[in-house]
Amino acid sequence: MSALTVNLPDNLHEKAREVAAAKNLSMDALVTIALAQSLSRLVAEPHLEERAARATGKGMDEFLAQVPGAEPPEWDRLPDSYQPKH
């Protein structure tokens, strides 16, 4: 484990303290979680990129054929005026 000293604007530090207290986390835990989440957005996992590069879509039709046909609930339907873009 490594120690890190960080200078934060006062308002960001106060907000972090509030969130940590509300979530019953230490500041160390909150900063670790926040940094891990930010890094996961900034740095793509190499194995995901490798898998995506190998993807062919083969078998997708067979996979989708297993989904039972059902009407979506009213709240999840497209409006009657919807026209897909081509």
Identify the pLDDT of residue 51.
84
Per-domain boundaries in the chain: 10-64
Per-residue pLDDT of 9-39, as tens digits, reads: 999 999 999 999 999 999 999 999 999 999 9
Instruction: Give the length of the chain.
Output: 86
Distance between CA atoms of 27 and 83, rounded to whole angstroms?
49
The pLDDT of residue 75 is above 90 = yes
Identify the pLDDT of residue 41.
82
Coil vs helix vs strand at 31 = helix
What integer best gives the mean pLDDT of the chain? 91
Distance between CA atoms of 57 and 51, rounded to whole angstroms?
12
Average pLDDT (62-69) is 90
Q: What is the pTM of this model?
A: 0.53
The pLDDT of residue 8 is above 90 = yes
**Ranges of H-type helices in the chain:** 10-22, 27-42, 46-54, 60-65
CB–CB of 15/21 below 8 Å?
A: no
